[in-house]
Chain A
Amino acid sequence: MTQMLILNGLTKHFGSIVAVDDVSMSLKKGEVLGFLGPNGAGKSTTMKMIAGFLEPTAGTAHVCGIDVTEEPMKAKAMLGYLPEGAPAYDDMSVARFLDFIAGIRGLRGKTKSAMVANAVEQAHLGDVLGQRIETLSKGFKRRVGLAQAIVHDPKVLILDEPTDGLDPTQKHHVRSLIQAMSSEKAILISTHILEEIDAVCTRTALIAGGKLLLDTTPDELAARAANHNTVVLSVDSAKSGSLTVALSAVPEIGNVEQTSLDDGTVKLRIMPKGRESVFSTVTDIVHKKKVTVREVYVERGALDQAFREITEKDDAGA
């Protein structure tokens, strides 16, 4: 089976509020899908429906071909789920907590010990095994939540904001853990941290107001940013004036911004019209003018800008 997670018209109403509105998508083994969206967009609600905590008002989800509304117990057994905020039984020690979860997950005896040991190693919890969870730092608690979600080596992993509140090192660690597991699983993570999308995701889905707005790759999302394909050049300030004039004359180039820097150079930001690449045009002109370039790069497009543009456009349209 290639499609490990399928959402089929998933909808959730809370009274008159539509929290999730007809969301459909699917996830293959090896894919890490980053679920993006502003707070209150419906990310967590969608994940709770997949995990079987909330019942969908309409539509359903299939985990490894099993319908979560028809056979919730079987579907839950296939899933690993990290709820938002990584709740855990605070009065238990890490070892006892993971042992409890593994037991409920149907593991026994030597297999159980081996699987728990593996999860402990992957989440780097070895040093705190005997500690009560309530005494742990936020980073460790999050890792306990992750260990709990992966202890039975599930085919599908649903992680609700797995790196929220972690310091940069911890974030990096959680991301490498997700990447290391990704080839064997289908993973859905939610986040509002855009760098995370670049760091771990092969795909990204944007949700706002309960609606799925976009399901694409991180590169394509970046291409929607206003600064996509903007060329940035640093040149000697003496040459910058004539170069700017020459560049502005090119029809594909919209605007050229100049910023003087302290070291006697000028930084030019050359923005194309229509976001098409103008890199070769720019280099041709630079060669013709015989300008020495100190630095050059092409901006890929900031994800946060693309994110804002898409969600704000949607707000205006609604």
Chain B
Amino acid sequence: MRNIALIARRELGSYFLSPLAYVFIAIFAAATGAFAFYLGNFFVMGQANLQPFFTYHPWLYLLLAPAIAMRLWAEERKSGTIELLMTLPISTTQAVVGKFLAAWLFCGVALVATMPLWVTVNVLGVPDNGVVFASYLASFLMAGAFLAIGSAISAVTSNQVVAFVVSAAVCFVITVSSLDMVLDAFRGWAPDLIIDSISSISFLNHFMGITRGVIALGDVVFFASMIGLWLFINVVVVDVKKGS
């Protein structure tokens, strides 16, 4: 645990040592707000809820989570510090989890930065704060899943741009996997069971499930196991690729 905390602290410090952190938080807070007001018709609806605000989170994460995760391992490989890190007395799992937690906490900070909107809604009306809380939780969980994917992919390459583009593509496919544009590629040849499974990993469905205010155990478990699965892949990739 102590090693994980040390790795996470170093990594988190490293986010705030670069301008990336401030740019990210500013853009995230501004974009979620702007989307809510302009695309989500926050005022026009005349309702005291944050539904329009949360609707656009998956699409923002699609762009921003790979940007946060891309440096986690690609940079270590590029600069050679992976050799330093992996010859310290820590396990690969500790390093992977520590780095992931740093990225996740960082996204958490960005989410907290959007909370003035929550306060505003409470001043203007009487929102269902339970739903808002559930939505924040869902957004945070989904961010974790996106980051776990991005972290695993960043371990495959030493090029951060490649890591970014590939992660964004993979995250996109998984996010919309319940839509026809993905499922059509499988219909016609794959059995129904596979099509149903692909459809069921869609982040969109699970996210929307929680933001409606129902914290279904299934959705929480889904995101948690997505994080677990991709971190496991991450560990394997680091172990296999570290020397090359």
Contact = CB atoms under 8 A, between A and B. Distances in A.
B80 interface: yes
The B interface is mostly helix, strand or loop, or mixed, namely helix
Contacts of B88: 76, 101, 104-105
Interface stretch (B10-18, B197-205, B216-224): B10-18
A312 interface: no
A91 interface: yes
Nearest to A85: B80
Chain A interface residue number, banded: 20 to 34
B194 interface: no
A77 interface: yes
A53 B81 CA distance: 12
Interface in A75-93: 76-77, 79, 81, 83-85, 87-92
A84 B2 CA distance: 28
Nearest to B18: A91
Contact of A73 (B13, B18, B79, B91): B91
Chain B interface residue number, banded: 20 to 34
A88 B84 contact: yes
B89 interface: yes
Interface string B1-24: 011001100100110011000000
Interface of B: 2-3, 6-7, 10, 13-14, 17-18, 79-81, 83-84, 86-91, 242-243
23 contacts: A48-B83, A48-B243, A51-B87, A74-B89, A81-B87, A83-B80, A87-B80, A87-B83, A88-B84, A89-B10, A89-B14, A92-B17, A96-B13, A100-B6, A100-B10, A103-B2, A104-B3, A104-B88, A104-B89, A104-B90, A105-B88, A105-B89, A148-B84
Interface of A: 48, 51-54, 73-74, 76-77, 79, 81, 83-85, 87-92, 96, 100-101, 103-106, 148
